[in-house]
Amino acid sequence: AYALVDGWVTVYQGDSYAAVGVQVHELGHNFGFGHSGGLDGQAYSDHTGMMGNPLFEDEVGKMCFNAAKNWQVSWYGGVGEGAEPNPYKVKVDPQTNRSSSFELVG
């Protein structure tokens, strides 16, 4: 599978579409995330999140995007120093829009 970083295209080959971990990893590329490597310089060696450790089975435990990726898109708190504005962040005013809810599960 592969996806365009910060784009809208994701392609799944063979049965790679069936692995939730692969789906979340490729969605991360669409959010603008690159691979997460550790200090050894390898692309997939940071096993703290979905961009460094793509899970190919559904029974291997829960994992999300790591802290660096969450900071990159400012999902928690304000925009970090030097961070770009987040085009994926949606504000919903519960006073005017009581029936909407959004959830990203990964």
Q: What's the pLDDT tens digit per position in 7-40?
A: 888 999 888 888 888 888 899 999 999 998 877 7
2 φ/ψ angles, rounded to the nearest 5 degrees: -155, 160
pLDDT band at 95 (very low <50, low <70, confident <90, very high): low
Selected residue with higher pLDDT from 71 and 11: 11
Query: How many structural domains comprise the chain?
Result: 1
6 is in which domain, residue-wise? Answer: 1-106
Q: Is the pLDDT of residue 60 over 90?
A: no
> Which residue from 15, 20, 23 is spatially nearest to 3, judged by alpha carbons?
23
